[in-house]
């Protein structure tokens, strides 16, 4: 069974909302932590950029190994996360777009049988490639929503 229209559409376009959500805000504002104990909008964006290669790697492992097991992803333990934090907002947006295109290319060339291949999530158990893709999209949407809320707080604080 191929990827659903919902998954396919979100894969192609969901990340594009990042530009709309952040429109009109300076990078310095995006880097501002509204709550000192929580990530800034910029840190959420850096996390999205750092996580995409992890997802790509997981897709590649599921394509070549039977039911590989994956550790829980923790941004603070990912060596790419600080690297992404050092990038500019513009560079992160371009990186996210390029990596999203790579995810799309991989999944566009994955046949129906390979979409049923599995990988073991430490909490949610054995997931198919399709389920991993849904998980990836929901994870991205969660962070986009967090970025939306933070940017609205920034806009309200400026008024």
Cα end-to-end span (Å), the chain: 50
Count structural domains, the chain: 1
Identify the domain containing residue 13 by its residue range.
Answer: 5-158
Q: Do 129 and 109 form a contact (C-beta atoms < 8 A)?
A: no
Residue 131, domain CATH: 1.20.120.450
Q: What is the pLDDT along the chain (159 residues), one digit of tens a residue?
A: 689 999 999 999 999 999 999 999 999 999 999 999 999 999 999 999 999 999 999 999 999 999 999 999 999 999 999 999 999 999 999 999 999 999 999 999 999 999 999 999 999 999 999 999 999 999 999 999 999 999 999 999 864
Q: Would you say the pTM of this structure is higher than 0.75?
A: yes
Crossing angle (nearest 10°) for helices 41-64 and 89-108: 20
Count of helix runs (H) and strand runs (E) in the chain = 8, 2
């Amino acid at each position: 069974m191929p990827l659903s229209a919902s998954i396919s559409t979100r894969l192609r376009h969901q990340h594009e909302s990042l530009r709309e959500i952040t429109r009109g805000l300076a990078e310095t504002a995006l880097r501002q932590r509204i709550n000192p104990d929580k990530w800034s909008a910029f840190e959420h964006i850096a996390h999205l950029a750092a996580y995409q290669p992890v997802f790509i790697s997981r897709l590649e492992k599921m394509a070549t190994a039977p039911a590989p097991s994956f550790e829980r992803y923790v941004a603070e333990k990912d060596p790419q996360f600080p690297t992404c934090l050092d990038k500019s907002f513009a560079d992160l947006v371009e990186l996210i777009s390029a990596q999203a295109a790579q995810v799309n290319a991989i999944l566009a060339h994955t046949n129906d049988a390979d979409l049923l291949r599995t990988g073991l999530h430490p909490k949610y158990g054995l997931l198919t490639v399709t389920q991993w893709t849904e998980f990836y999209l929901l994870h991205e949407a969660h962070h986009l929503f967090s970025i939306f809320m933070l940017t609205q707080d920034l806009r309200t604080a400026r008024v």
